[in-house]
Structure 1
Amino acid sequence: MSASPSAPLSSPGSRPIVIDCDPGVDDAIAILLALASPELDVRGITTVAGNVGVERTSRNALQIAELAGRPDIPVFAGCHRPLVVAPIGGQFHGESGLGPLMLPEPSRQIQPPHAVSFFIEILEDALARTRPITLCTLGPMTNIAVLLRVRPDLIPGIERILSMGGAYVEAGNRTMTSEFNILADPHAASIVFSSGIAITSLALDATHQAMATPERAAAVQQGLGGPVGAAVKTLLAHWDRNDPRRYGSRGGPMHDPLVIAALLRPELFETRKARVFVEHSSALCLGQTVADWYGKSGETPNVDIVTRVDADGFFALLGERLARYGLREAS
């Protein structure tokens, strides 16, 4: 599905989604990708403490929605800390969460209700309309876990969760075994993964295949213009890890945007089913996601784990969609 530069970036036939996030450099690019895609109807953005505190992630979400020309997208602040463990904070996003990117003050402020209350409202409506919601989780799963604890009857209102988090074959990016989003609230992740909801997991195994190398970043930037283009250029430049020993090249892995791309272009991804367990009691392996690939646990597979990514296809999609902002501003 495509849209002319002046067409609205969503339509009545779009897939309804909610983005639960902790913006975050790569969260910001993911939100911009979603809001540029008419196939998706972003019903709201919910925020959680993760890369930075929830006050800052909420402000960042408001600023990104305004940058995208979508101040109508509601933003709801969620949980201010993990369920059990102490907050750990992100390492690569800077004090603001958006690296060196400076955006104007948002024209709106966060309003009630709490993110979990918003989930209850939208899922009750989804059940009444028999049109379930897809949840895209780009940060710690605290909000979703609280929702599942207080209103498990609303699970049928969730079509699927697409989650950026975990590490199965790859080593962790925050500890030897664990990826940041899961480590930040392993108890919440355990609740979500054991909920019975259909889940697609985009872990480091997938995201490390989608490196924004200098060549790919330059190709994406060629079609960009206007304030969104300038912001994306700043974000991509900041995201270069400059660690070829770890990643095989310069650049940074496009973690969160892959979640949105998996909705838009599922043919770019290969998955494998497995039972997933989350370690939440070991000091050494806290936050580790363990995949039972061969049925050793005797439990039914519960997650579609992304194992392969067409990286060139993904970056082509990213560049094409982000370029729409410049086209719209020029029209």
Structure 2
Amino acid sequence: MSLKERIPVIIDTDPGVDDTIAILLALASPELEVLAFIVSFGNTDIESSHLNILKIYQALARHFEQYPSHKYRFPNFFSENKPVLARGCRGPLEGELHSARYFHGRDGLSSITDRHPDLNIEEPREKIHPQLEVTDRPGVDVALDLIRQRPSKSITYIALGPLTTLAHMMRQDGDLVRNNIGRIVSMGGALDVPGNTSPTAEFNFFADPFAVKELLIPEDSNTALPLDRLLLLPLDITNHHQFSFSTYKDKVDPKLDIPSRPSIAADKSPLTHFTSSFLERVRERMLQFGKDSMVLHDPATVWCAIENPPSAPLRNGWKVRPRVFDIEQTGRLTRGMLVVDRREGKSAYPLGANRAEVQAELERHGSDLLVEQVLNEKPVRPGVLCVHETPGSERLMDLVLQRVWGV
């Protein structure tokens, strides 16, 4: 695939376990041209997120030293234009800072910092990197500049973590994003299924529900994303995309043990040692829940971006439907919950309407005012395009195995 045909992408990420597999998939995908990694808070703190990108690149560099013939599998690792590595947001727009360390560990990668010090990045870290343009410029500025410099509607923005950085981009130059972004592919939310952080909330939307409100359910249209170019992958679809540890053990690393013994670098390739070093603890954790697999939330999102470039119809096997919802921002039990109108039956009220408020408005103005007149004062929100069907979990698992590990 020629450079002109590749999809330029900005990856907004909080590199935890499945984010890291998603990033490896992106680096191994010739359909993409990775322009930047904008790291943020989320699965871990922002400094650990920054380090985890460097750990991914270090693992790949060590791998290619031993297996130079494998370089062809990772076209984005050897890009002529080096991807920018920049820091995005350290915390949400409002409210408390939350992380997903309960699952991803203190460093975002199952605590490999302590378990596998051979994978750590030595201090001091050089600003000059052979494969990355490491910068102290704010990630918001970096992303906006890239959108400004590239042809209109050519870039896909892949949001794997909280939407905070994207919200700041819209605040800073919403017109630029609305007019020039090609597509936004975001992982987040739970519509008709339980949450994975609380009983009602998916983590990314739980981490910053204020950003979700501004971007997807805005009261001010100046902060709204172009919803016709946004694809959302909620837990409803990502939960169906499983990564089988038994398959990984069979095809990639036969020494992935139960209970886990720390991976030994001398026993396997550098890339397999790196991935097994964080997957070994994830497997332990998932087995406590009776599952020998983990969910590929973020790899499914990168896959969606690979398969569905901007300004093109969705490929066969991908289906979306518009969903109307609101989000709870401050609820003690329901922060980050997507509130879906499940009321059945036809009526004069659109989805999401508060009928008590409409009735109060009618009573305030007298009986001559019609329901339609009240509702017309508040235009009905368009739905968010939510992916509800993909080519299937097995297709994604095969793609990840083939591209990341070459099996």
Mark yes or no: TM-score above 0.5.
yes
> 1:267–1:314: structure 2 CA closer, same or farther, 3 Å change rule?
farther
Q: How far apart, in 1, do the equivalents of 2:294 and 2:318 lie? A: 19
Per the alignment, residue 207 of structure 2 pairs with: 184
The structure 1 residue matched to 2:299, chosen from 245, 257, 260, is 257
Q: How far apart, in 1, do the equivalents of 2:389 and 2:253 lie? A: 26
Per the alignment, residue 77 of structure 1 pairs with: 87
Structure 1 counterpart of 2:182, which letter?
E
Q: How far apart, in 2, do the equivalents of 1:204 and 1:39 lie? A: 25
Per the alignment, residue 125 of structure 1 pairs with: 149
Q: How far apart, in 2, do the equivalents of 1:13 and 1:85 lie? A: 42
The structure 2 residue matched to 1:206, chosen from 217, 237, 243, is 237
Q: How far apart, in 2, do the equivalents of 1:121 and 1:88 lie? A: 29
Whether 1:230 aligns to 2:300 is no
Per the alignment, residue 399 of structure 2 pairs with: 317
Per the alignment, residue 297 of structure 1 pairs with: 352
Give how far 1:244 is off: 4.8
> 1:177–1:16: structure 2 CA closer, same or farther, 3 Å change rule?
same
Give how far 1:136 is off: 0.7
SS in 1 for 2:33: strand
Cα deviations by residue, 1:131-188 (Å, 9 ceiling, x for unpaired): 4311111111110001101111112221121111111111011111101111111101
CA contact 1:77–1:115 (8 Å) conserved in 2: yes
SS in 1 for 2:287: coil
Give how far 1:121 is off: 0.7
Whether 1:34 aligns to 2:34 is no
Q: How far apart, in 2, do the equivalents of 1:167 and 1:204 lie? A: 5
Pairwise CA RMSD: 2.5
CA contact 1:220–1:315 (8 Å) conserved in 2: no
Q: Map 1:12-91 onto structure 2 (within 5 A).
A: 12-69=4-61, 70=77, 72-90=82-100, 91=102
CA contact 2:320–2:388 (8 Å) conserved in 1: yes
Unaligned runs of 5+ in 1: 2-9, 327-331
The structure 2 residue matched to 1:221, chosen from 252, 255, 259, is 252
Q: How far apart, in 1, do the equivalents of 2:147 and 2:340 lie? A: 29
> 1:313–1:124: structure 2 CA closer, same or farther, 3 Å change rule?
same
Per the alignment, residue 143 of structure 1 pairs with: 165
Q: How far apart, in 1, do the equivalents of 2:317 and 2:19 lie? A: 20
Q: Map 1:160-179 onto structure 2 (within 5 A).
A: 160-179=183-202
CA contact 2:246–2:292 (8 Å) conserved in 1: no
CA contact 2:36–2:143 (8 Å) conserved in 1: no
- Matched residues, percent identical? 29
Per the alignment, residue 94 of structure 1 pairs with: 105
Deviates further, 176-185 or 54-63: 54-63
The structure 2 residue matched to 1:156, chosen from 179, 188, 196, is 179
SS in 1 for 2:243: coil
CA contact 1:279–1:289 (8 Å) conserved in 2: yes
CA contact 2:17–2:110 (8 Å) conserved in 1: yes
Per the alignment, residue 324 of structure 2 pairs with: 275
Q: How far apart, in 1, do the equivalents of 2:317 and 2:246 lie? A: 20
Larger Cα Rg: Structure 1 or Structure 2?
A: 2
SS in 2 for 1:242: helix
> 1:48–1:308: structure 2 CA closer, same or farther, 3 Å change rule?
same
> 1:68–1:11: structure 2 CA closer, same or farther, 3 Å change rule?
farther
Unaligned runs of 5+ in 2: 62-76, 128-133, 218-223, 255-267, 308-314, 345-349, 354-379
Return the TM-score normalized by structure 1.
0.85
CA contact 1:132–1:156 (8 Å) conserved in 2: no
SS in 1 for 2:212: helix
SS in 1 for 2:295: coil
The structure 1 residue matched to 2:287, chosen from 219, 242, 266, is 242
Q: Paired residues, what number?
A: 311
